[in-house]
Structure 1
Amino acid sequence: MIKPLTSLRFIFALMVFAAHCYVIDPHFSHFLYKEGFVGVSFFFVLSGFIIAYNYQRKFESKSISRREFWIARFARVYPLHIATLMLYPLVGGALLAMNWDTVLKLVSQLFLVHPFIPQTDYFFAFNSPSWSLGCEQLFYFLFPFLALWLNDTRKLFWILIATGLIVACGMYFTPEEQIRAYWYVNPLTRLPDFLVGMLLFKLYDKSTGNWSVNRATWFEIGAVALFIAFYYCGSAGVLPKVYRYSVYYWLPVSLLLYVFAMNKGMISRFLSNKYLVIGGDISYAMYLIHLFIIELYKSTGWNYPWQIVIPILLLITICCSLLSYRYFEKPVNKYIRMHLK
């Protein structure tokens, strides 16, 4: 575990939470909040880095099989996904109006193929954040093959450059009303984010990381400042939103991950705080649970000041995520891996 990166997961999960609070109060419609969708890009790049960090050498040395890897990822992703998928229709009353279209949506989301369907009522059906799990599922399926095929850093770099140019051109020619379906949620077009993370691991793995504390701290400050600058300019609309879904943030997110993966500076020490690390551990649950809690509050029709409501909803989300992580995700993960080994 690289503790600063785990803590960064918590920080970006908070950004995603804030990005969805506009459904409660117009205050969160401000561009600085709504740009929080960058958290998803961060998670995809981080996923590529961490998966390569944990498994690249194992696949190269053949010390792990594809089956073992897929079981491990299934045990991590699917239990909470299925639990929240079951919860949404029950609470939302969708089962009371069951029809063929609802069944198709449930089945597509159950198997995490719904982000491939370019219709909003499919890829955002029920627990809408689960669309990103469909992307992760594709990444995990392909990784054992990519780990061996793209084990050369130079090859991976040039493939990523070519892919980036193709993606940027495709984004330019896509009609405005279709960009979310084809460039935000589609697993195939989000795969380059994952490849960026894999390339980042290659660079990290070749680095000596022989930095002093002072030097590392300045690098960390610089990486944070660069990300904030990109974030502010992006949220102010410097570039069309379609580019900000992925390619625009590749550089600042990559530098952020690379510098903090070194775990050398004073900010890294702060991010290694055990409470922030726990926040990172529960970030997956936060991501899947938070919108459910926000929408549940919205459905009550209550209209309390956001200064009171948002902290309470965040606290409820964190508490539910802690309970989920400790008493559901970890035990079920262990059970599945033990019985499917």
Structure 2
Amino acid sequence: MINTLTSLRIFFALMVFGAHCYVIDSSFNAHFFKEGFVGVSFFFVLSGFIIAYNYQEKLLKKTTTRRTFWVARLARIYPLHLLTLLIAACIGGYVQYSGTADWIKHFVASTFLLQPFFPSADYFFSFNSPSWSLGCEQLFYFCFPLVIPFLNNKRHLVIILFICLLFMLAGMYLTGEEQIKAYWYVNPITRLPDFFVGVLLYQFYRSLRNKKISYSTSTLLETGAIALFLLFFLCAADIPKVYRYSCYYWLPVSLIILIFSLQKGGISRLLSNRFLIIGGEISYSFYLIHLFIILTYTKMTALYQWQLPWTVSVPIIFCITIILSLLSYYYFEKPANKWVKRIFTKKTIINQPHGIINKNTTN
């Protein structure tokens, strides 16, 4: 496990949290908060890096199977997704539906994480809105074992990403304002290059991880990566949003991930704090739960005609979300992950010279 990258997850989850707080108070309509959607881009690129880090050699050397990989990914995302989907179905989702048949269609699409493939907000933001990104992750996970034999080369990956970038820039330029979110923000196919950027980063990481880099140089690089990201982030208001949804942030996000993956500087030492690592571990729960808490609060304030100042309400909502995320991670996510893996593990019979041995394996 790379502790620094785990810790960084909670910071980018907080950016997404801040981006959704505009429903609480208009102060969060400021660019600094609304631009928090970059957290999703970070997670997509990081996903490519971590998946390659954990599985690339194993899949190429056939020490693990595609089925093992897919089962592990299914066990990671589906239990909490299905739980939050059922909660959303009970308390009312993000979008209103025109009837029972319409509700069922949206529910089925959300259940199987197909909602981001439909270019309509009433689909991709239905029920638990943040789960659209899981539909993208699902496509990434499906593709990875199939394409990694062809992408295990920096040069090939750079060429593929350069071609993708050219097509993306042309497509983004030609897309109307009302369609950019459907085609360039939530569409799993157009977000696939983000994942491949992460896979490419892992190829660079393999070349750099054994290089001797001094503590002071590493600290300077980490500081520079953060400064560059903040520069891109604060200047983003002048860039059309369609580009900011993906490729605009490739460079700063990539440098953040690559440099901090080496874990050799002073800021990396700070990020290796146990509490920050726990924060990163619960970030998936935090991401899927936070909007429930925010929307529940806004419904209550509308129903009872009262509202706390945001300086009070937002910290309270944040603390509640953290507590629920901790409970979810330790008492639901981890047990459910093990349970799903066990369910999909089948017994095989191995013939040995001295008899037959039953052994549980995940194929």
Residue 310 of structure 2: aligned partner: 306
Could you list the runs of 5+ residues in structure 2 that have no partner in the other structure? Answer: 346-363
Q: Distance in 2 between matches of 1:97 and 1:186?
A: 24
Equivalent residue in structure 1 for 2:341, among 334, 337, 340: 337
AA in 1 matched with 2:242: V
Residue 220 of structure 1: aligned partner: 222
Q: Provide, for residues 217-241 of structure 1, a one-character-per-residue CA deviation record: whole Å limited to 9, x for no partner.
A: 000000000000000001xx22100
Percent identity between matched residues is: 57
Return the offset for 1:199: 0.3
The one of the two structures with greater contact order (alpha-carbon pairs below 8 A, sep at least 6) is 1
Structure in which a larger fraction of residues adopt helix: 1
Residue 352 of structure 2: aligned partner: none
For residues 86 and 95 of structure 1, do their structure 2 counterparts lie closer, same or farther at Cα, with a shift above 3 Å needed?
farther
Q: Distance in 1 between matches of 2:165 and 2:204?
A: 18
Q: Distance in 1 between matches of 2:53 and 2:2?
A: 10
Q: Distance in 1 between matches of 2:68 and 2:184?
A: 31
Residue 278 of structure 2: aligned partner: 278
Residue 85 of structure 1: aligned partner: 85
Residue 163 of structure 1: aligned partner: 164
Return the offset for 1:335: 1.1
Return the offset for 1:98: 5.6
How many residue pairs align between the two structures? 339
Q: Distance in 1 between matches of 2:320 and 2:199?
A: 35
Native 8 Å contact 2:75 2:341 kept in 1: yes
Equivalent residue in structure 1 for 2:325, among 314, 321, 324: 321
Residue 123 of structure 1: aligned partner: 124
For residues 172 and 97 of structure 1, do their structure 2 counterparts lie closer, same or farther at Cα, with a shift above 3 Å needed?
closer
Residue 229 of structure 1: aligned partner: 231
Q: Which runs of 4+ in 1 moved over 3 A?
A: 93-98
AA in 1 matched with 2:64: I
Return the offset for 1:209: 3.3
Residue 319 of structure 1 aligns to a residue whose secondary structure is: helix
Residue 38 of structure 2 aligns to a residue whose secondary structure is: helix
Residue 195 of structure 2: aligned partner: 194
Native 8 Å contact 1:209 1:262 kept in 2: no
AA in 2 matched with 1:4: T
Native 8 Å contact 1:89 1:95 kept in 2: no
Greater gyration radius: 2
Q: Distance in 1 between matches of 2:199 and 2:273?
A: 26
Return the offset for 1:339: 2.4
Q: Distance in 2 between matches of 1:338 and 1:202?
A: 32
Q: Distance in 2 between matches of 1:126 and 1:309?
A: 24
Could you list the runs of 5+ residues in structure 1 that have no partner in the other structure? Answer: none
Q: Distance in 1 between matches of 2:259 and 2:319?
A: 30
Residue 138 of structure 1: aligned partner: 139
Tell me the TM-score normalised to structure 2 length.
Answer: 0.92
- Trace 1:199-278 onto structure 2 (pairs within 5 A): 199-207=200-208, 208-234=210-236, 237-278=237-278
- Aligned-pair Cα RMSD in Å: 1.3
